[in-house]
Amino acid sequence: MKVSVLFSGGKDSCLTAIMLSKLFEVELVTCVFGILQNWKQAETVAKKLGLPFKRLKLKKEVLDKAINQILIDGFPNNGIKYIHQKALENTAVISRLVADGVRRDDMVPVLSLAEIRRLEDKFNVHYIQPLMGYSRKTINILEKEFFEIKEYKSSSSFIGAEYEFELREIIKRKYGIQKIKEIFPQEHTHSIVIKMCSQNGSRII
């Protein structure tokens, strides 16, 4: 059975892919708007995992609607959740099983149980969140054990494959860098997996 995993190349989506690889054929999917080349980061990590990688382009309207929401709110949470829902829906069109790396303790982009069931029913899809049964503390231990990662702040020059980077780019182009500083938390960090290994040094997948 094939499962499509929404993938940024960060530690949570890598751990998700590894967990699912025990029981499924895993395909990694990075959703983008075509503004930046940030998906290349994800593709590099996908190659390290040895798993097939797909880039899925979302409609410009999704980005516009997310940005409108973010400008109204003054913070990015609801806009990012909206993009994530559209990413899940678009992936649900091409795959019968979709998964992501959302964790039990995450605030964004967590769908409610009602939203999960709506997604599953509307698109006749199975939505799997393998990290939902784990605390952040447990996931941190696993990631420390299995990955070598690089952490970087959203505000640094590093461009990751998370939705946030294309959002920031468009808002910066349209409203200037000051708007970015008003909306996005400066200290928010992302991760990219540099290396992965199992306890005995063998391949993890």
In the chain, where do the E strands start and end?
Answer: 2-6, 25-32, 53-57, 97-99, 126-128, 147-153, 189-196
Q: Which is nearer to a second copy, 4 or 154 (by Cβ)?
A: 4
Rounded to a whole number of angstroms, the minimum distance from the CB of residue 94 to a second copy is: 18
Distance CA 7, CA 12 (A): 9
Q: Which is nearer to a second copy, 146 or 165 (by Cβ)?
A: 146
Q: Which is nearer to a second copy, 144 or 173 (by Cβ)?
A: 144
Dihedral pair phi/psi, residue 44, rounded to 5°? -60, -45
Q: Which is nearer to a second copy, 50 or 176 (by Cβ)?
A: 50
Rounded to a whole number of angstroms, the minimum distance from the CB of residue 172 to a second copy is: 35
Tokens 């702040």 found at: 153
Rounded to a whole number of angstroms, the minimum distance from the CB of residue 155 to a second copy is: 31
* Contacts to a second copy by CB under 8 A: 1, 18-19, 21-23, 97, 104, 113, 116, 120, 126-135, 137-138, 141-142, 145-146
Is residue 95 within 8 A of residue 101, CB to CB? The reply is: no
* Burial grade of 106 (CB within 10 A; 0-12, 13-18, 19 or more): middle
Rounded to a whole number of angstroms, the minimum distance from the CB of residue 107 to a second copy is: 13
